[in-house]
Structure 1
Amino acid sequence: MKKQALSIALALLLIIGCNSKSNHPFGQDIPTDSEQIAIGKSLFEQNCSSCHNFTQKTIGPNLSGLTTQIESDWIKSFIKNPQDLLEKGDVRTKALLDEYKVLMPAFSQLSEAEIDALLSYMHSFGPEALLESAAEEALEDPIPEKTMDSGLALELEFFTQIPASDSISPLAKVTKMESEPVSGRLFVQDQHGKMYELVKGKPKLFFDLRAIRPDFVSKPGLATGFGSYSFHPEFVDNGLLYTSHTEKPGSKAADFAYADSIKVTMQWVLTEWKTANPSSKSFVGESREILRVNVVTQIHGMQEIAFNPHAKKGEEDYGLLYIGIGDGGSAENGFDFISDHKGSAVWSSILRIDPKGKNSQNGKYGIPKDNPFVGQNDKAPEVFAYGFRNPNRIFWDPKGRMMASEIGHKHIEEINLIEPGKFYGWPRREGSFVINPNGDMDKVYALPSDDEKFGATYPLLQFDHDEGSAIIAGYFPNSGIFKGKFLFGDVPSGKVFVSDLNESSPKMQKVGIKYEGRETTLQELCGKPRVDLKFGQDKSGQVYVLTKADGKIYRVVN
């Protein structure tokens, strides 16, 4: 996994200097009045702050001084539609894609006046970007081992097309595809608010969250909207379904909030829905809110909720809901203390609650008596495990072991074996490497010799960003050439990997793609460089591949 280290000079040449005139006084055409800057600040916080700031690189480049180094027309075109620039062969856009491995989504919904205001706000951070020289101790290539090719391929066949919910890619933001556990009815949800039942391979609208919740928001994307769903294990009898979604800040008082001086970009809401008829083909019933959480940005929210599929009636874990909540983008926006809480708060945590109970602080859910921090005054009793940046999928292997995938910051993607009460490192560790949340978070360092006293639990499997930049956990096929192995991948590129998680030190291998008898890639299949890969599985164990870029679902046939 050889990490290509760009020097500062090369980064400037590729990302800032390409095609520019060396002495052009860029930015002189940008208005600088305070009212325009204030409008731009509001737009930036709503649309851009989850991926950019003016002190360091995060998901995207540090924007300080950008408007003094690149012509305004190019910046505007990039904000409107970077995919269009890439298809036209724009050198800067290609360089950005090469370095960051993912292309920024289009913001075509912004008007010319709004983009002008954005540039005014960005222009207030100049005149030059401050670049920090690399520390000698930083690791350029944290995981130098190469990922080998398995020699195997997923053979895919087209299964269904989900209706488009947007006019630009991703056309249908399908993120989760699982069955109701008893009947086997198969469902898939679109982050823009709709949930479909797949009936004989055809999507039939079951539930429209946007229509029911007027404060529901799914723009500008990056995991906002309809986050996840999970059916109660007794849904066929009690009709209970649980969802997570985002709403406008201040829609209601939050159960979990931080200091008023820190901005709130979104509220994540966990809701219980009770359908009047569990066998109905569309939802009709009532709902109640269980909990509400404020987050600093729109990223790293409540993207996963799940019941343990292995728990049997009468066992401690039966009917208990697990909730993955990321750091809300707090660490990389200067509020690392929100996620660095030692188990005393819900952010950067996996929660475990009894949705039928009443002994929580808000009286709307229960705290299981065997949760690891019950009875400890300085801890949050809902917390099952903590120290996560973005636990975007929670799953169980065939042995019943609980695991979670963790999307990293700049270097490391993780699969963690989840155990009660354990600390998984964020925001002071990225994978099994040191990170400084109060300095340059783009750099990672080797663990110190006395690391045991830090008390972190490290990944079962990890890889660096030479292989992929945003892990998505998959499933364990119960038949075929991948039986018992774990299939997973990289969200943006659509690369697929396989691993035997039963090994003491699991390794990952690359997996090819075949469609209609020929070798291909998911990028080629969907016709986009950003695939937005997801996986699904039905009750029989059949695994599916989802590509959000075009809203298509493929069935794995081998």
Structure 2
Amino acid sequence: MHTPTRRAFLAATSASVAALSGCSASDSTVTPTEGALRGLELSGERVASGFDAPVDVVVPRSGEFFVADQFGEIRYFDGAKTAPAAITDLTDRLADPGGEMGLLGIALHPEYDGSGRMYVRYSAPLRAGMPSNYSHRFVLSEFRVSGGRLDRDSERMLLEIPEPQINHNAGAVGFGPDGYLYVGVGDGGAANDQGRGHVDDWYDAVEGGNGQDVTENLLGSLLRIDVDSRDADRPYGVPEDNPLVGQPGLDEQYAWGFRNPWRFSFGPDGRLFVADVGQSSYEEINVVERGGNYGWNVREGRSCVQAEECPTTGPEGDPLVDPVIQYPHEGDGITGISVIGGYVYDGPAIPSLQGRYVFADYVAEGELFVGTEGDDGWSLDAVPVSGIQSRVLSFGRTPAGELLVCSTGDSGGAVHRIRAAEATAE
């Protein structure tokens, strides 16, 4: 299988992000604050390099971590060594990677103890029976892993979704405190949740709407499944308290109204933070709850899509939930075009970040964003960061609560541990 060069990857990624974002808005709804973060500067301590596009990192135990490279390799690092101790190559199972397709997410089963199960999200070619004019196939599979290497022959495919377009593939997978596997699914691609593969929904002002549909497909949703059981008609179980069990809709869906949820995480208090990439105007961070409707394609952030006025509730009177943080593509203050979801920081190394949500934007070179919850809602700061590649792709978290950043640039991709600048060792 031909693997594009790093130069081709960077060019393709830049093009796809531009297409994802569309045009820009000039108004800003976030006023950056300083307070406890005044003067804070961050820096990256490199822990692994040599990647094309490291899009996910999981750390099951101190000194041990797995990194997913978008072009098909899962690399395992053990101890302080900079070279991988094991590499699993899945490139032969991918649709052509690059842009927003490829190997997109990994998660280890909570019972992993050096061996166990890993769940892998990737883009695969269409198979027989899927619409021939669609782009590719969303795949979620389970593999056995031991000694840092996946057993390629152990693949058990859990979920397949035909994807009509090349973009909005999301890709994050992760276990919640409840032991269930959560899976982010984009709206199917293109623009405005319209066109080929985008079904009609209840909202007439914008044609199409996988984000607002809960009966025809799983696109535009956050799923929640039980990988430790199986139903009669599927290779996984569905938790009985999923919101649509026994109701009209697809049982796997946990929340909906998403465009392209690029990374999610659970905070120390169990809250679920989901970053949803916007289209023309706003990027958003949502605190997601069971059965929540997060607005797309009726709204982008807190604003209407293709209409001057729009509803604030769904067809049954359920609210369209506002993001806790949003920022514009243009304007004064903090801007960006493609949000990269992170984590609530609870490590000891950077006390001023304690309890704050740290994330990024793909084009915010030299900055990480910090959301702070207060009595009057959330505020947003940009904190300078040095020593990492120019484009942040993803975040990880160590068992001690410290943050890892996956990034890429002209010199390739790397994973860094984030420290306060004065505390970073070269």
Instruction: Please tell me whether residue 301 in structure 1 is matched to residue 178 in structure 2.
Output: no
Alpha-carbon distance in structure 2 between the residues aligned to 1:301 and 1:81: 17
For the structure 1 residues 357 and 296, does the alpha-carbon distance in structure 2 shift closer, same or farther, using more than 3 Å as the test?
A: same
Determine the structure 1 residue equivalent to 2:205: none
Structure-1 residue corresponding to 2:149:
282
Aligned residue for 1:4?
A: none
- Compute the TM-score of the two structures, normalised by the length of structure 1: 0.62
2:321 maps to: 457
Query: What displacement does 1:158 show?
Result: 3.3
CA contact (8 A) 1:184 1:539 kept: no
- For the residue of structure 1 that corresponds to 2:137, the secondary structure is strand
Say whether the 8 Å CA contact 2:283–2:337 is kept in structure 1.
yes
Match of 2:94 in 1: 216
Partner residue in 1 for 2:225 = 353
1:324 equivalenced with 2:184 (yes/no)? yes
Which residue of 34, 46, 49 maps to 1:159? 46
Distance 2:164 2:260 in 1: 14
Aligned counterparts of 1:273 and 1:232: Cα–Cα separation in 2: 10
Q: Is the 1:268–1:302 Cα contact (8 Å) retained in structure 2?
A: no
Q: Secondary structure at the match of 2:243?
A: coil
Unaligned runs of 5+ in 1: 1-46, 48-78, 84-101, 107-133, 165-171, 255-259, 312-316, 437-443, 516-521
Secondary structure at 1:104 match in 2:
helix
Greater Cα offset, 425-434 or 280-289 = 280-289
The answer for the alignment partner of 1:195 in structure 2 is: 74
Q: What's the offset of the Cα at 1:343?
A: 1.8
- Distance verdict in 2 for CA 1:81–1:543, change over 3 Å: closer
| SS of residue matched to 2:15 | coil
Does residue 368 in structure 1 map to residue 239 in structure 2?
A: yes
Percent same amino acid among aligned pairs?
24
Separation in 2 of the partners of 1:540 and 1:429?
38
Q: How does 1:63-212 map to 2 (within 5 A)?
A: 103-104=14-15, 141-148=26-33, 150-164=37-51, 172-180=52-60, 185-199=64-78, 200-204=80-84, 206-210=86-90
Q: Secondary structure at the match of 1:506?
A: strand
Q: Which amino acid aligns with 1:231?
A: L
Give the C-alpha shift of residue 514 in structure 1: 4.3
In 1, distance between residues paired with 2:142 and 2:236?
A: 10
- Alpha-carbon distance in 1 for matches of 2:263, 2:241: 23
What is the Cα deviation at residue 496 of structure 1? 1.3
Q: Distance in 1 between matches of 2:63 and 2:246?
A: 39
Q: Which structure's residues are more often strand, by fraction?
A: 2
- Measured after TM superposition, the shift of residue 545 of structure 1 is 2.5
| Cα deviation, residue 210, structure 1 | 2.3
The reply to whether residue 429 of structure 1 matches residue 307 of structure 2 is no
Describe the superposition over 1:167-205 as per-residue Cα deviations: whole angstroms up to 9, x where unpaired.
Answer: xxxxx110112212x676212110111111223151415
Which structure has more relative contact order (CA 8 Å, sep 6+)? It is 2
Query: Quick one: structure 1 residues 153 and 223, their matched pair in 2 at CA, closer, same or farther if it must change by over 3 Å?
Result: farther
In 1, the alpha carbon distance for the partners of 2:32 and 2:407 equals 23
Cα distance in 1 for residues equivalent to 2:76 and 2:169:
25
For the Cα contact (< 8 Å) 1:196–1:203, is it kept in 2?
A: no
Matched with 1:505 is 377
- Greater Cα radius of gyration, structure 1 or 2: 1
SS class of match (2:155): strand
Contact 1:215 1:247 in 2 (8 A): yes
Contact 2:405–2:415 (Cα < 8 Å) also in 1: yes
The CA deviation string for residues 238-269 of structure 1, in whole angstroms up to 9 with x for no partner, is 7111101011122x556xxxxx4x82101011
- In the TM superposition, residue 512 of structure 1 has moved relative to its aligned partner by 1.3
TM-score normalised by the chain length of structure 2: 0.80
- Tell me by how many angstroms 1:144 deviates: 4.9
Paired letter, 2:397: Q
Instruction: State whether residues 387 and 423 of structure 1, in contact with CA within 8 Å, keep that contact through their aligned partners in structure 2.
Output: yes
The structure that is helix-richer by fraction is 1
SS at match of 1:507: strand
Aligned to 2:106: 229
2:401 equivalent to 1:541: yes
Residue 209 of structure 1 and its aligned partner are, at CA, apart by: 3.9
Change (3 A) 1:372 1:209: farther
CA displacement at 1:146 relative to structure 2: 3.9
Q: Distance in 1 between matches of 2:149 and 2:304?
A: 49
Q: Does 1:292 align with 2:160?
A: yes
Contact 1:143–1:464 (Cα < 8 Å) also in 2: yes
- Pick closer, same or farther for the CA change 1:157–1:382 going to 2, 3 Å: closer
In structure 1, which of residues 483, 487, 491 is the aligned counterpart of residue 358 of structure 2?
Answer: 487
**Partner of 1:242 in structure 2?**
119
Distance 1:209 1:365, change over 3 A: farther
CA distance in 2, matches of 1:81, 1:192: 9
Contact 1:409/1:430 (CA < 8 Å) preserved in 2? Answer: yes
| Residue type at the aligned position of 1:540 | A
How much does 1:392 deviate?
1.2
CA distance in 2 between partners of 1:370 and 1:81 (Å): 42
Q: 8 Å contact 1:244–1:302 — kept in the other structure?
A: no
CA contact (8 A) 1:357 1:365 kept: yes
In structure 2, C-alpha distance between the alignment counterparts of 1:352 and 1:512, rounded to whole Å = 36
Distance 1:504 1:536, change over 3 A: same
CA–CA distance in structure 1, aligned partners of residues 283 and 162 of structure 2: 25
CA distance in 2, matches of 1:473, 1:506: 16
Query: CA–CA distance in 1 between the matches of 2:165 and 2:44?
Result: 38
The C-alpha deviation readout for 1:217-243, integer Å capped at 9, x for no partner, is 243x22211110000001228711110
* Alpha carbons 1:153, 1:513 under 8 Å: kept: no
SS in 1 for 2:90: helix
- Is the CA contact 1:352–1:371 (under 8 Å) kept in the aligned structure 2? yes
CA-to-aligned-CA distance 1:23-79 (integer Å, 9 cap, x gap):
xxxxxxxxxxxxxxxxxxxxxxxx9xxxxxxxxxxxxxxxxxxxxxxxxxxxxxxx9
Contact in 1 for aligned 2:29/2:327 (Cα 8 Å): no
For 2:202, the equivalent position in structure 1 comes to: none
